[in-house]
Amino acid sequence: MSFDRHAMKSEARERMRTVRPRPILVSLVVLCVMAFINSLSLRLSGSLEITDQMIVPQITLADMLFVIALDVVSQILYFGYLVYTVRTVRLEPSGFGNLLDGFAMAGKVILLWLLTGIIVFLWTLLLVIPGIIAAYRYRMAPYLLITNPQWSVTDCLRQSRLMMRGRKWELFVLDLSFIGWYLLCLLPVALVYVLPIGLLWCIPALSTMVSLYVFPFRSLTEAVFFNRLDGWQAPGENGGINNPAAGEKPPWEY
């Protein structure tokens, strides 16, 4: 398995250039929908009343349930985006419709999201570092559910733990390699001190343009990383290694 960061990023950039519809357009759709969901969620849960003793959130039970439902929909939508990234890097048919694929297995998606969050939270109660390690340990669980939909949620968590054994640092370094891109996303904010007032509207536009490139680039690179772990290769490439047949051990268990 090759975990050359430059090679993985080059493969991701190649997919961004050649795949149709363009990953930037698919990312734009998912980011807009999730931004709308988050905005609506904040609007419903952000009303506060200041009393003599404390600040009390003014939110009804119905609003609270609706906020929870919005969060669930957001997670399912993001899972569909991960489906899109995996299919894209594997040169399988992919497109806007993949964003809805998570709804076909919503029960498992929600349960995986909840269990992962609980596990990471419990580890974080010990110290921050164990919590970060736990987050990386189970980072591949959604991808395993995508490529092995017949698996249970606990299977995905267990296999992610095995898959990431000895590989957490490599993924951490891969994440760090995008810090420059994240800083570039924030760079337009610094222009507020040099631009005339009439051009301040350019700042969010520039930041959004950079983010629209960084988001799919990072997401596709992570999908390529999963492919390396999974032992997947394109058809015709060294025989085209794909997922193991039923009853066979996955490559990371050998």
Count CB-CB contacts under 10 A for residue 223: 24
- Mean of per-residue pLDDT scores for the chain: 84
| Tens-place pLDDT, residues 27-77 | 999 999 998 988 888 777 765 444 555 555 566 777 788 888 999 999 999
* pTM for the structure as a whole: 0.85
Cα 97 from Cα 80, distance rounded (Å): 9
Task: Write the CA distances from 95 to 10, 92, 99, 164, integer angstroms.
Answer: 21, 10, 8, 29
